[in-house]
Amino acid sequence: MLNFLLRRIGYGLLILLGVNLLTFFLFFTVNTPDDMARLNIGGKRVTQEQIDKWKAERGYDKPLYWNAARQGAERATDTIFWERSVSLFALDFGRSDARQAVNIGHEVKTRMWVSFQLALPIFVLQVIASTAFALLLVFFRHTRIDFWGVVLCVTMLSISALFYIIVGQYFFSRVLRLVPINGYAPGLDALKFLALPVVLSLLARLGTEARLYRALFLEEIGKDYVRTARAKGLAEHVVLMRHVLRNALIPIITSAGSYLPYVFLGSLVFESFFGIPGLGAFVIEAISGQDFAIVRTMVFLSALLYIASQALIDIVYTWVDPRVRLA
């Protein structure tokens, strides 16, 4: 296990370095520091003095890469790449390009827990609801319940999440007035603001997940160990819960684990439409405001959380299936 973790950490650092280099290269290939200054200052008549002042305030007046000594810098680390990209490995995110008063690290810590409050219930309820619905369809396989359940799944996965949001906000907020249409409040008051996006997100993903899990269960149900369990006289629901579900857990964990980074990073669409001040909304605001410092930070955090989630999934495999060994 220790060797596996050390190897994963090594691979993860290489991947993060590659993501960091690629992100930095793409950002400064598309936009030079002068272009970034013009975008943030705005207006058609931007003077060179204004551009130079903006760059000096944010540290973009330094060389981009390692040729700092040739360009007259005091040390090799006095470059934009070192201060803006290498510092991310120390979780030093710096300040926003558009708003110097905004500390990115503080915003990430604050907004992360807001996204967590939204995404964790979605994650847990999604796994439970999708698994239960898929087991129900398999239990009643080759019946009308199974047929219309599959039709419902296909219909649900064919509908855009935006449709659920628009209809849900109109019906539950404007017509029935059960919940606020958008906004957020801390503490227990957050429940009334988060209830609707949680339910709508659950509906938007239920069809896709339930159909996938149903296919996994149907594949397992035709195997020899299931026929042996039935031959011993076990009831069908016991066979499904004790044997089929247990042996189908690995692909379910893989599917569910891919959603883990979003538990902390939030949902871009739902946070934006419902005015929830999480990390998803933070990214949308940064993209709209051409704030490259925030976007680079979120790309780095996304890669970091994805690598960590994949390592966690592999460890969970060993708990679910004793035959799996981490060499």
Indicate if 120 and 256 belong to the same structural domain. Answer: yes
What the block records as the tokens of 93 is 């995110």
Residue 218, in any domain of the structure: yes
- pLDDT reading at 243 higher than 70: yes
Average of per-residue pLDDT values in the chain: 84
Rounded-to-integer distance, Cα 140 and Cα 326, Å: 38
Residue 101, in any domain of the structure: no
Nearest partner of 263 among 183, 198, 188, judged by Cα: 198
The neighbouring-strand residues paired with 103 are: 95
Q: What is the mean pLDDT of residues 297-308?
A: 88
Residue 99, in any domain of the structure: no
Q: What is the pLDDT of residues 229-241, one digit of tens each?
A: 888 888 888 889 8
CATH of the domain at 134: 1.10.3720.10
pLDDT-based confidence at 36, cuts 50/70/90?
confident
Ramachandran angles phi, psi of 103, nearest 5°: -85, 115
Rounded-to-integer distance, Cα 181 and Cα 192, Å: 10
Indicate if 116 and 237 belong to the same structural domain. Answer: yes
Q: What is the mean pLDDT of residues 123-143?
A: 92
Structural domain boundaries enclosing 22: 2-90
Indicate if 153 and 282 belong to the same structural domain. Answer: yes
* Cβ neighbours for 233, distance < 8 A, ≥ 6 positions apart: none
Look at residue 77 in the predicted model and tell me its pLDDT.
Answer: 65
Rounded-to-integer distance, Cα 223 and Cα 71, Å: 69
Look at residue 267 in the predicted model and tell me its pLDDT.
Answer: 79
pTM of the predicted structure, to 2 decimals? 0.81
Rounded-to-integer distance, Cα 53 and Cα 71, Å: 19
Look at residue 168 in the predicted model and tell me its pLDDT.
Answer: 92
Residue 222, in any domain of the structure: yes
Residue where a domain stops, chosen among 29, 56, 90: 90
Residue where a domain stops, chosen among 30, 57, 90: 90
Indicate if 84 and 120 belong to the same structural domain. Answer: no
Residue 95, in any domain of the structure: no
Count of other CB atoms within 10 angstroms of residue 137: 24
Q: What is the mean pLDDT of residues 102-123?
A: 88
What the block records as the tokens of 326 is 């981490």
Rounded-to-integer distance, Cα 188 and Cα 214, Å: 36
Look at residue 211 in the predicted model and tell me its pLDDT.
Answer: 92
Look at residue 73 in the predicted model and tell me its pLDDT.
Answer: 47
The number of distinct structural domains making up the chain is 2
Rounded-to-integer distance, Cα 177 and Cα 190, Å: 16
Indicate if 138 and 235 belong to the same structural domain. Answer: yes
pLDDT-based confidence at 136, cuts 50/70/90?
very high
Indicate if 239 and 287 belong to the same structural domain. Answer: yes
* Cβ neighbours for 64, distance < 8 A, ≥ 6 positions apart: 28, 79, 80, 81
Nearest partner of 36 among 24, 19, 18, judged by Cα: 24
- Tell me the DSSP string of 31-42: --HHHHHHHHH-
